[in-house]
Structure 1
Amino acid sequence: MTESDGERRPAGELEASVLAALWSAGNPMSAAQVRAAIPQPLARTTVATLLIRLHEKGVVGRSPAARGFLYFPVADSHGLTARRMHQELDQDHDRSTVLARFVEGLGPDDEAELRRLLEGGGQ
């Protein structure tokens, strides 16, 4: 076995490929369709496992189909990033301090954008 044969790809990289395929499709996809749409040559069972894990995390939804399920993203990439930020915030009992530290780390442009959004500027 060569070194590259034994290397494992990070799960995050594979999940990102699956999500990218679902986002670009614009409609629900079966595991086989996702497998055909991603650049990595993965086994059908690997893709199915990734989709199940993403469903368990609440990142993709699914609906019954003739054979198995059709999967779809529950949010766009920006929505998923916001969701991860909320999950991190929810893990600490002192939300105020976490938010204060987050704001302290913002650059001037991000701080101005956050202020604009908080004042009702919307997107």
Structure 2
Amino acid sequence: MPSLGELERAVMDVLWRADGAMTAREVQDALATRELATTTVLTVLGRLERKSLVTRTRDGRAHHYRPVASREDHVAELMRDALDDAPDRGAALARFLGSIAPDERARLRDLLG
């Protein structure tokens, strides 16, 4: 799973919150506090498309972008990738469980049971 830079994460957050596909201009407007040029947003969307994180469709003259997977699916894949990199998966899982709040551990137990 490719890593994301700060601006890529911000764009993905906008797309994950959206009800449907968005144009680059709509993404730019949603990121208005950053004062980004449309070309910058298009560059980031192109990078995300090459990383297979977004897909684009053409509608008239505009392209519409949408995430390939949900935020939850993305996070789950990042977690799997991290575990795949660990030489001792059990130790990595134990450290992870030790680092999360008790209510999150209880939620995991519920999901597993």
TM-score, length basis structure 1: 0.69
The C-alpha deviation readout for 1:91-113, integer Å capped at 9, x for no partner, is: 22432332222223333222211
Q: 3-state SS of the aligned residue for 2:66?
A: strand
Residue 33 in 1 paired to residue 26 in 2? yes
| 23 and 103 in structure 1: CA distance in 2 versus 1, 3 angstrom threshold | closer
Answer yes or no: is 1:47 the counterpart of 2:41: yes
Counterpart code for 1:44 = T
Alignment partner, residue 10 of structure 2: 17
1:70 aligned counterpart, secondary structure: strand
2:92 paired with 1:98: yes
| Cα distance in 2, alignment partners of residues 62 and 75 from structure 1 | 13
Where do 4+ consecutive residues of structure 1 move more than 4 Å?
A: none
CA deviation map 1:8-60 (0-9, x unaligned): xxx41x22332233234312122223223322211122101111222233322
Cα RMSD between the aligned structures?
2.3
Structure 1 distance, partners of 2:23, 2:100, is: 41
Partner of 2:57: helix, strand, or coil? strand
How far apart, in 2, do the equivalents of 1:107 and 1:37 lie? 33
Count of matched residue positions in the alignment of Structure 1 and Structure 2: 108
